Amino acid sequence: MGANGYLKLWHLQRPTLDKYDVIFIDEAQDCTPAIMDIMLPQHCGKILVGDPHQQIYTFRGAVNALNLVEHTHLYYLTHSFRFGSEIAYIGATIFQVCKKVK
């Protein structure tokens, strides 16, 4: 059985994560409905991290949890350690032209 099968089995058990103070969800732009179903009813804090421009699993039914969960704080990264300012400028220009994003 693959990872999605194990996730679904856990989901069907309706886990309670009350022993945790906070749940950290990385790649929240590509959450499966099972993860959302597990996460949303929990009474602990939730930290969601993701980049909606990197959402790549919608064809598998993934949803952007960043748009579905009410925010109390919202932070944007202002610096990338993966590439320099020249590449960042090109990427930002492409977003402005193609996606009308600033």
Question: pLDDT at position 102, please?
Answer: 59
Question: pLDDT at position 77, please?
Answer: 83
Taking only the tens place, the pLDDT of each residue in 36-85 is 999 999 999 999 999 988 999 999 999 999 999 888 999 888 888 889 88
Taking only the tens place, the pLDDT of each residue in 13-44 is 999 998 999 999 999 999 999 999 999 999 99
Q: Reply yes or no on whether the pLDDT at 94 is more than 80.
A: yes
Q: What is the 3-state secondary structure (H, E, C) of the chain?
A: CCHHHHHHHHHHCCCCCCCCCEEEECCHHHECHHHHHHHCCCCCEEEECCCHHHCCCHHHCCECHHHCCCCCCCCCCCCCCCCCHHHHHHHHHHHHHHHCCC
